[in-house]
Amino acid sequence: MLEPLASPLHLVLVSPQIPPNTGNVARLCAVTGCRLILVEPLGFSIDDRNLKRAGLDYWDKVFLKLYPTYDAYVAEYP
Q: In terms of C-beta density within 10 A (0-12 exposed, 13-18 middle, 19 or more buried), how is residue 36 classed?
A: buried
Per-residue pLDDT, 36: 94
pLDDT at 25: 92
For 25-36, what is the mean pLDDT? 91
In this prediction the pTM is 0.81
Which is higher by pLDDT, 2 or 31? 31
Domains and their CATH numbers in the chain:
10-76 (3.40.1280.10)
Residue-wise pLDDT tens digits, 31-64 = 898 999 999 999 888 776 766 676 667 788 889 9
The predicted model gives 13-34 an average pLDDT of: 91
- Distance (Å, whole) CA 49 – CA 57: 12
57-77 mean pLDDT: 91
Please tell me the predicted confidence (pLDDT) of residue 51: 67
